[in-house]
Amino acid sequence: MGIAACFNCGHIKRGPFHKCPECGKDPKMLDVHTKAVSLYLSSDAFDPELVEEPDPARVRRFSEQIRVGKGVEIDPETLAKLMKIVIEIEQHPVPWWKVLVFLIVCILPAVVTLFVWLILW
């Protein structure tokens, strides 16, 4: 998970859909447009067709622009694509059983390996 600039105050936070610890705004509780803007203001927006540079420096630049009151301009076509992505995510959340399978297949072996390594070390 990357970092994101809060769409409201510019504070750097954990991810695009997390509540801002500075101003308290929570994109998850708002409309699709706001969620798309939050995604654009994050390092999680990595599609080269949507953003020019998918890195934390871009997020920090956006953060500073918002903090000084300049705001961030988003190309309408890019915003429309991001809104489509948000709608797709909201309509097709990951089923609970896929999360369970992921935990069993990926996390459990790592934990067992760690415990075995610690015991044998």
- Please count the residues of the chain: 121
- With 0-12 / 13-18 / 19 or more C-beta atoms within 10 angstroms meaning exposed / middle / buried, residue 101 is exposed
Residues in Cβ contact with 13 at an 8 Å cutoff, skipping those fewer than 6 apart = 3, 4, 5, 6, 19, 20, 21, 22
C-alpha triplet 108, 111, 117: angle, nearest 5°: 140
- DSSP output for 78-102: HHHHHHHHHHHHHHSPPPHHHHHHH
Ordered mean pLDDT values, 10 residues apiece, the chain (121 residues): 89 92 93 93 70 74 94 90 90 81 83 88 78
CA distance linking residue 19 with residue 32, whole number of Å: 15
Q: How many helices (H) and strands (E) does the chain have?
A: 5, 2
